[in-house]
Each structure stands twice: as C-alpha cells, then as structure tokens.
Chains A and B, each alone.
Chain A
Amino acid sequence: MRLLVKFFIALTLILAAASFLLLQKFGVSFPRDPGPILDREFRSNHRKYLEANRPQIVLMGDSTLLFGVDPEALAEQTGKSVYSISYGGMSSAMWYLIMKNNIVDSVHKPEQLVIVFRSTILTAPGFRVQGYNLARLDEYARPRDYLFIQNSFVNLMNPVELMAEKYFPLYVFRGSLRDGVDAYLRYSAPALAGCDRGCTDGTLYQMQEHRFVNLSYIEGDANASEAYLYTDQQMDFGSQVETSYLPAMIEMAKENNIHLVFARIKVIADAPQYKLEAYNKALSAYLAENNVSYIDLGSDSRFTEDHLEGSLHLNEKGKALFTKLLADALVKLSLGD
C-alpha cells in the first residue's frame, strides 16, 4: 500500500512539474480544442507551379500513382499538359489539403483534377495522419483547417483522448516531447564521431534509398498498416462517407468549375472480394449521384499479376497499360464535356 501512495505522490509531482514547464514553453492555454497544433506556415509550391505552368490536367495520388502513371505519356496521349502530385504515403487528408490550399487557391484552375486512389483510401480520413505523416500534412494545412482537424483527428478520438486533449498538457505535447527525445538520440552519438545534423540526416536518408533496402522485406510492415483500410468499419462506405473528405472535395470542385475525376487503380487487397465489390458499388453510386466522373480500372481484367510489382504497385508494363487506359478514359470524358 505504501508503494502505491508514494507512486501517486511522485506521479502528481511529475505531472504538475511537466505541465508547468510545457505551458511555459508552448504558451498554449488550457482547456483547449482537441486536435493537433498546426503551425502558421503552409506550403504553396503546387499553387505556384499551377500559376506558372498552367497545366490542364492535375493528377494526385500516393505511390500507386507514382508507379502507375507516366505523366509524359499521359500528356502525349491526351494532348493536354499534365502535372502529377504524388509521393509515397499520401492519403485523402493530404489530397484534400492540397486541393483546398493550393489548387483552389490558384489563379489558374486545371480543367481536370484526377485523383488516383485504391481500396477504401477515399473514405479513410484517419489513414496516414499520425507521426511523420502529420508533419507532412502540417506543411499544407492552415492553422485552423477545421475539417482537417475534425475528420482526421477529433472524429477518431475516444472519450479518454478527447478529455486528455482538452485538459492534459503532457498528452497534448507528447509529439513534441518525443521528437525532442528522438532528435537527442539521433544526433548525439554521430556528433561524437564528427557527423553534424546535416551529415546525420543525409546518412538516414541514404539508408532509406532503394539500393540499400529490399522492398520485399518491408512489404509485411506495409501490409500491416494497409490492414487499416480493410477493417469492417472502413469497408462500410455508407458509414464512412459523411465523415470523409469526399463531400468537401466534390463541393470545392463544383464551386471552382474543376472537372473532378476519381480513378481507381489495381492493387491486390487483403480483403474478401465481395466486400470490396460492395464498397466499390456504393462509391460508384455515390459519385454518379453527385455527377462526379469515375474511371474504375481497379477490377479491370486486362490487369494481371504480370502488371504488378508486389501487392500495391504496378510495374513498367502495368504503368504503360494504366496510363493508356486512363488517357483513353480522360479523352472520352473531355469529349463528353
């Protein structure tokens, strides 16, 4: 019993001291609204590109787009200029933020905005928004991007988290504290060997390069995080759509006279086929109801295992085929316009 009492005394003192120091350091008043603290800066590199180069088609997607579409070939086949915004780890939250804070903000609006997606990613606003992903999202978010904070964070918090976010500084600033510990551990030992921060960052970057990493060995980890997209909740389109970014993206496109197109790409999903089909059917009906174009190449039988590399990405052969089919569909849609 005495150990428990001592534990509570020590814990109270530690929490009180930590709260005091954190409030001094970050200057945030409590209670506060739940959600991440976003900085005031935001990047507008895509807006600048759009205004300078005036592309007619803008593509957005994660690494499946990077590996799945050749922008130059697409430009050639459609006869239109193409700008592709894609990198590994992008998710619907990032597409929404870039669309809202860069594309819609731009003086030049593209004729077509094509979102290349897979599985249930369009209605999974909580996918890839934590840790390192949050830092990347913060680059494109404004400090008070209400929908972003609500959809990707607050809606997904349980009552304990909501309470902690509101009243508990140690919990709210845990990301910053962890970053501090990580940075200390990351830079201290290399500094002793004469490697400063720039050198250490360069080393870590180099260690991630493909020539060092065997992608098949990390596929297991990638699949584990993919599992989030195939939970029963995520596969239920009806329950997810209203808290996703889909309605807002459709609304923004209509208001800004941008032809929004969603294109589903082929992947091998770790979920029963009938559930994927049900989700896709519901998505298709929803987009049709909202007069949004949908190019569904996700279950196109022309894609076989020969077109895939791993379960997520197309190989060069698959890339050529997907680019061709996407171009044909986009031309058709333009003619329809």
Chain B
Amino acid sequence: MSFTSYNFLLFYFIVFVLYWTVRERRWQNLILLAASYYFYGSLQSWYAILLGFSTLVDFFLARGMAARPERKRSLIWVSLLVNLGVLAFFKYYNFFASDVITFFGDLGIKTDPFITNIVLPAGLSFFTLKKLGFMLDVSRGTLKASPSLIDFALYVSFFPQLISGPIDRAQSLLPQIEAARVWNSSFFLNAWPLLVMGLFKKLVIADSIQILVGRVFSTQDPSGILLLSGSLGFTLQILADFSAYTDMSRGMALLLGFTTPENFRQPYLSISPTDFWNRWHITLSTWLRDYVFFPVQRSLMRSRFRFNRLVIAATPPLVTMLISGMWHGARSNFILWGLYWGVLIVLYQSLGIRGDWKPASIGKSLLAWVVMFFLIVFSWLIFRAPSTTWLFHALSISVLPPSRSEFIFSLIILSTILAYAIPMMIHNLLDRSTPESWGRAVFYAVAFALVIVYSNAAPADFIYFQF
C-alpha cells in the first residue's frame, strides 16, 4: 500500500474518521496501533509478526532496565544483539543465499527459489533505529521506559513513519502519544501544503525522471556526459522522491494531531559535507551523530591508549559514515558511498571547514556551493551505480568523447532535468515569500492540477522503501 495508491487513500480516510470520532486518547492510540499493524501486514503478513515480536522484546527489556537498573548493561546488549541481528540477517541474507541453496542441495533438499530469495522487510531499517535509540536512551537514563505497551508499540509502528521514516525520537513522539489530542483546524491548514507537495514531487518529478535515470544506469559503456546527466538526474530524483515521502508522512501525522520532524532543509544548497548532512535525511544524521559519532569520539578521547589528534578527529566521521553506508544495504557501492562521505568530512575538517562555516564573501560562498554540489552529484553516482565494477569501468572510460547518440540523449536528459527541477526551485523561493501570498496559492494549485495529469493507476514505489 503505497502512500500514492487508492487503497491507501481509502485506508487513511477510514482511520482518520474513526480516530477523530473517538475522543478518548487510549482508544485513539489503539485505533492507530491496529491501523499501523494492518498497514504493515498488508505488505506481507509476516512483516507485522516480526514487528510485533521485536517490539515486545524491547518493551520488556526496557521495563527490565527500569526495574533492575543494575542489569542495564546486560539488557542493552541483548537488545543490541536482537535488533542488529535481525537487521543484519535480512540485509545480508541474500549475500549468502547461494550458499544456502548449495547447503540444502547437498542434503538432497530442493529449495523453493522464493525461500532462497528472502526480501528485506520494508521499513525494518527505520523502526530498528527508532527502537535502538529508545533503548540506548533508557539505558543511559535520559529517557523513562514507557509503562504502556500500546504507547510504546505505537511509537515504533506509527504508520506514517513506518516504512521510510522520519526516524522520530521517543523524546518527541512518545509524549505526544501519551497526551490527549483534540481536533484543531490548524492540523489541516498546516498539513495540506505538505500533502500537495509530496504528491507533486513523487508523481510529477521523481517518477518522470526515474525512467531516464534508469536508462543511463543500465547502459554498458556510458560516456562522461551520459554519466554526468544520469547522475544529475538521480540527484534530482532521490531528493524529490525521498522528500515527497517525508512531506506526505508529516502531513498525514499532522492530520492525526502529531508534529513530526523535518528531514530535508534545502540540502543541495550546502557548502560543506557537514552542512549537507545537517540538511539531508536529518533524522538519520542526528541519530548517527548521537548514537555513533559522539560515543566513538568519547571512547577515543577517554581511551587509555593515547590516540593522536588526527585519529580522534578522523575516526568518528569515517566510522559513522561507513555505518550509514552499511545501513543502506549489502552492496559494495553503499559502503564506498559511506566511506566517500567520511573521507570528505575529514578532508573538509582538516581545512578548518565545519558545519557552521561561513565563507567571507559571496564569491567564496558561490565557489564553495559549486564544489559541494558536484561532490554531492558524484556521491549519488556512487550510490546509484548498479555495481562498483560498473562504476569504475564507467569512470575509466568517461574521458572518451561521446558518440552523437550519447550526446543527443544527454541533451534530452539534461533538458528534462532542468524542466522538472524548476518547480522545486520555485517552491524553495516561495518558501521565502509571504506565507499566504497569491503566488504560493497558484503554485500549489498548478502542482495539484499536474498531480491529476501525472496520476497513475500503478504508482512506482518510493526509493527508500528498499532500505
């Protein structure tokens, strides 16, 4: 059930009506919990079982920590083992699938190809991080273990965030779940622009660009210009696609009375790698910062081995970004992509450029932006490449002159990217204008009309569903 499907629209409408009809908070939470499990189970019924099982484990472990603080250390290890174990199993299972077939084959057991190709449950990476954040905070004593299983289970499974985030913190979402919620018209007034923009970015921009990008990344020997246009296309596609999902998720949560965090803050205007990660997939970046970066940095600084300053400065970003790459999946180019960002952050930091860096002049700002933009585009090339072998081959032949066909094809891609990027730029500019201007209203009206024109009976999945 994709957010852009009719089935989801129907599902959401029923949930919305039921939810606001009952006024009692506990009933509202029960309805949302049932809806979340139905939503998740409708993708695959065993997904809901897995979600329920892992939620129960963490709930009781957290209660255990609250009841027996002296056993916090061992209980948090159990939680880490279960959560990371399940995540690693599903993320990396297909790596070993051929060995599984051989093993069963040797035993004379014929395996069903379907079983040997287990897919990663959608959203597992997201709700695992949510739960881990909660458990680590409880173990550190910065958060109280939720006394209500329903509230905790709803925090983990809240359907607008379940498949692709935002990775909301318990400190922010749980109090909202625990508080009474009464309908307020401001919910709708704040939600509808997010919903219109989400639909527009997904159906009109991302799905249109996707076809051309797919064509470039299935080419055997792409020339440099084709590689550049494909990478630029994917740069636009992934932002439109992922931010569309977040917009819709936030809009739907708002309609249910929940304020959830933003995930993107004009990331392609960044002037340094740290600045980029402060603007891109913000809830993942802050999660990694709080639960990986800072702990690694602290442990290095407090270590009895006296590491030199370079090691202390370079290790946390490298480890954090490597984990970010691995979190995206069991593919070598995700790991390379993570390392690439780690190295970039270290390099910029060694030049004294951090997230709060302000260039001295407009010229320098512009130069920093251009450099950073191309570094971002290159990162998406690594990310989208079908394999690292393909990537290195493509880069090695990228200096060769393109054929006439490739040149013309690149022109088509570049003009299409430009055409679809313009509305995103206009929207960014309008964000700085008067909140209730006619310009903004007309923009949303045109966007909505285009959603009708681009609506499709079989909408494509969101890119981040696969993570």
What residues of chain A have their CB less than 8 Å away from a CB belonging to chain B? Answer: 1-4, 6-7, 9-11, 13-15, 18, 130, 156-158, 160-161, 164, 168, 170-171, 174, 177-178, 185-186, 188-190, 192-193, 195, 199-200, 203-204, 206-208, 211-214, 217-218, 221, 224, 228, 268-273
Contacts and interface: CB of A to CB of B under 8 A. Distances in A.
A211 B406 CA distance: 13
Interface of B: 6, 9-10, 112-115, 117, 185, 189, 192-193, 214-215, 217-221, 386, 390, 404-409, 411-412, 414-416, 419, 435-436, 438, 440-442, 444-446, 448-449, 452-458, 461
A213 B220 contact: yes
A3 B440 contact: yes
B411 A190 contact: yes
Contact of B449 (A11, A195, A221, A270): A11
Contacts of A204: 409, 412
20 contacts: A3-B193, A3-B441, A6-B438, A7-B192, A130-B456, A156-B457, A161-B457, A170-B449, A174-B453, A186-B412, A188-B415, A189-B414, A189-B415, A200-B408, A204-B412, A213-B219, A214-B220, A214-B390, A269-B113, A272-B114
A10 B461 contact: no
B56 to A, nearest CB: 27
A310 to B, nearest CB: 13
A270 B117 contact: yes
Contacts of B452: 164, 168, 170-171, 174
Contacts of B446: 10, 14
Contacts of A185: 412, 415-416, 419
Contact of B405 (A189, A203, A213): A203
Given A10-B438, A217-B386, A270-B113, 6 more contacts: A7-B444, A11-B449, A171-B452, A185-B415, A190-B411, A268-B113
A228 B458 contact: yes
A183 B302 CA distance: 63
A117 B408 CA distance: 38
A207 B117 contact: no
A335 to B, nearest CB: 35
Contacts of B220: 211-214
Contact of A178 (B10, B192, B454): B454
A174 B461 contact: no
A272 B440 contact: no
A130 B457 CA distance: 8
A259 to B, nearest CB: 34
B409 A177 contact: no
Given A1-B189, A211-B220, A273-B114, A7 B456 contact: no
Contacts of A14: 445-446, 449
A33 B144 CA distance: 60
A193 B449 contact: no
Nearest to A218: B218
B454 A4 contact: no
Interface centre among A3, A161, A164 (most CB of B within 10 A): A3
Contact of B445 (A7, A156, A188, A211): A7
Nearest to A274: B112
Given A11-B445, A217-B218, A270-B117, A4 B411 contact: no
Contacts of B436: 2-3, 6
A214 B442 contact: no
Interface centre among A199, A206, A212, A224 (most CB of B within 10 A): A212
Contacts of A11: 445, 448-449
B442 A10 contact: yes
A323 to B, nearest CB: 24
B441 A273 contact: no
Contacts of A3: 189, 193, 435-436, 440-441, 444
Contacts of B113: 268-270, 273
A203 B441 contact: no
A144 B6 CA distance: 28
Given A199-B408, A217-B386, A171 B455 contact: yes
Contacts of B185: 1
Given A130-B458, A206-B405, A272-B112, A189 B412 contact: yes
B453 A207 contact: no
A174 B454 contact: yes
A6 B434 CA distance: 13
B114 A221 contact: no
B453 A178 contact: yes
B384 to A, nearest CB: 11
Nearest to A219: B218
A276 B37 CA distance: 28
Contacts of B218: 213-214, 217-218
Interface centre among A6, A211, A228 (most CB of B within 10 A): A6
Contact of B217 (A1, A190, A217, A272): A217
Contacts of A161: 6, 457
Contacts of B217: 217
Contacts of B6: 158, 160-161
Contacts of B444: 3, 7, 10
Contacts of A188: 415
A11 B200 CA distance: 14
B219 to A, nearest CB: 6
Contacts of B215: 207-208
A221 B466 CA distance: 13
Nearest to B185: A1
Nearest to B112: A273
A106 to B, nearest CB: 33
In order of increasing CB-CB distance, the 6 nearest A-B pairs are A6-B441, A10-B445, A189-B415, A11-B445, A217-B218, A189-B411
B99 to A, nearest CB: 16
A40 B67 CA distance: 77
Nearest to B221: A212
B441 A9 contact: yes
B189 A4 contact: yes
Contact of A207 (B219, B390, B448, B456): B219
A195 B445 contact: no
A214 B220 CA distance: 5
Contacts of B9: 160
A224 B448 CA distance: 28
Nearest to B440: A3
Contacts of A15: 449
Interface centre among A11, A156, A161, A193 (most CB of B within 10 A): A11
B150 to A, nearest CB: 30
Contacts of A160: 6, 9
Contacts of B440: 3
Nearest to B442: A10
A164 B456 CA distance: 13
B76 to A, nearest CB: 38
